[in-house]
Amino acid sequence: MIPFLDLTRQHAALRGDLLAAAARVLDSSRFVLGEEGKALEAALAARHGVRHAVGVASGTDALRLALAALGVGPGDEVLTPAFSFVASATTIVMVGARPVFVDIEPETYALDVAAAERALTPRTRAIVPVHLYGHPAPMDRVQAFARAHRLAVVEDAAQAIGASWAGKPVGAWGDAACLSFYPTKNLGACGDAGMVLTDRDDLAARLSRLRHHGDHGRYQHVEFGYSSRLDEVQAALLAVKVRHLDAWTERRRRIAARYRDLLGGVGLGLPVERLGARHVYHLFSVRHPQRDALQKALANQGVGTAVHYPLPVPGQQVFGGGGERLYPEAWRAAREVLSIPSFPELTDGEVERVAAAVRQACERL
């Protein structure tokens, strides 16, 4: 049996360091907004070449607070891809604005900038490009489009820490960018955590207030805020893991290269890496018109897989359902994509066994 994802392997390897980090926080007994969080913020800001990083309770809250800090609210429309994790759109609703869905480019799953242009109205205030599966959205085109129409840009980089576009890291392009440290992400906490990156001093100051009840300092509440802080235990654990992130990313890329070598010529759609893009393979998602049969055949061979995502965002009940004719590429992706195991701790032998099982299944479909 080869699991789709096995986090216990990573945690077994880092067990001593993680327990020591957690013990350090316990001994300090400073659990919220302390030195661990500050150190992690400084490390991640430096890593992305931006001036500020603000730790929050989750990737979802990072998006919600970034939109709120930009002043996005009732009466505003925000462009967001029709194919993503649901939080790329629900957070727009959480601040009182309206998500306007945009279809995707079929090869990279990034929002289609030409479709975004057609969806513009006088109320459009912001755009949320998502670097889905770890492949960067075409940020030079997104930025040019946003500038031309005076839109704020909030990058959803939840799946893409370490990725870059035209040599510049994702997270460093938008007015703000959002990271998730949900346990299964490329840099995962042992619980929920997230962060907003920004180069703008005004946004950073507002984000620091918004995550803590609009507090300007010493119980001076100057606006309505949230209770959404990155806790010190998670920050300390993440500081241990971030030291390994580059090696993990390299391993993900090597596994992807191996799959590419082994999976050609069987009628399977393989992930692309656009010229100028550095993909970090949060997910290695293949495409097949008979996806469900392929998934079943792999399960029978003991290979774990997952579908990200079986229903486009506007098709979700919470957004009213439907939309297949408006967003055909999103719907086609939802029918065809299948993520196969690609976490860094997979052995070379397991990668080969997965590839052999996929080849065999495809040949029999």
Q: How far apart are CA 98 and CA 110, in angstroms?
A: 20
Q: Name the residue whose CB lies closest to ligand PLP.
A: 59
- If one asks whether residue 159 binds ligand PLP (CB under 6 A), the answer comes out as yes
Residue with Cβ nearer ligand PLP (279 or 297)? 279
- If one asks whether residue 286 binds ligand PLP (CB under 6 A), the answer comes out as no
Binding segment (CB under 6 A) for ligand PLP, from list 141-149, 153-161, 166-174, 241-249: 153-161
- If one asks whether residue 108 binds ligand PLP (CB under 6 A), the answer comes out as no
Binding segment (CB under 6 A) for ligand PLP, from list 58-66, 195-203, 252-260, 338-346: 58-66
- If one asks whether residue 231 binds ligand PLP (CB under 6 A), the answer comes out as no
Number of residues located near ligand PLP, criterion CB under 6 A? 15
- If one asks whether residue 162 binds ligand PLP (CB under 6 A), the answer comes out as no
> What minimum distance in Å lies between the beta carbon of 10 and ligand PLP?
18
Q: How far apart are CA 71 and CA 143, in angstroms?
A: 19
Vertex 339, ends 334 and 343: CA angle to 5°? 150
Q: How far apart are CA 335 and CA 289, in angstroms?
A: 7
Residue of 25, 68, 85, 232 interacting with ligand PLP (CB under 6 A): 85
CB contact at 8 A, 88 and 312: no
Residue with Cβ nearer ligand PLP (180 or 339)? 180
> What is the widest separation between alpha-carbon atoms in the chain?
67
Q: How far apart are CA 288 and CA 211, in angstroms?
A: 43
CB contact at 8 A, 65 and 56: yes
Phi, psi dihedrals of residue 19, rounded to the nearest 5°: -65, -40
Q: Identify residues 88-107 at the interface with ligand PLP (CB under 6 A).
A: 88
Binding segment (CB under 6 A) for ligand PLP, from list 69-77, 85-93, 106-114, 204-212: 85-93
Binding segment (CB under 6 A) for ligand PLP, from list 151-159, 227-235, 329-337, 348-356: 151-159
CB contact at 8 A, 79 and 124: yes
Residue of 21, 50, 54, 60 interacting with ligand PLP (CB under 6 A): 60
Q: How far apart are CA 230 and CA 186, in angstroms?
A: 18
Residue of 10, 58, 164, 339 interacting with ligand PLP (CB under 6 A): 58
CA-CA distances (angstroms) from residue 107 to 110, 172, 286, 332?
A: 8, 23, 11, 11
Residue of 84, 108, 228, 305 interacting with ligand PLP (CB under 6 A): 84
Residue with Cβ nearer ligand PLP (178 or 268)? 178
Q: Identify residues 186-225 at the interface with ligand PLP (CB under 6 A).
A: 192, 194
Over the window 10 to 49, marking each residue x when it contacts ligand PLP by CB under 6 A and - when it does not, the resulting string is ----------------------------------------
- If one asks whether residue 59 binds ligand PLP (CB under 6 A), the answer comes out as yes
> What minimum distance in Å lies between the beta carbon of 82 and ligand PLP?
13
- Cis check: omega of the bond before 309, within 30 degrees of 0: yes
Residue with Cβ nearer ligand PLP (230 or 297)? 230
Q: Which of 3, 4, 10 is nearest to 238 (CA)?
A: 10
Residue of 158, 207, 233, 355 interacting with ligand PLP (CB under 6 A): 158
**Which residues of the shown chain bind ligand PLP in the complex (CB under 6 A)?**
58-60, 84-85, 87-88, 130, 156, 158-159, 180, 182, 192, 194
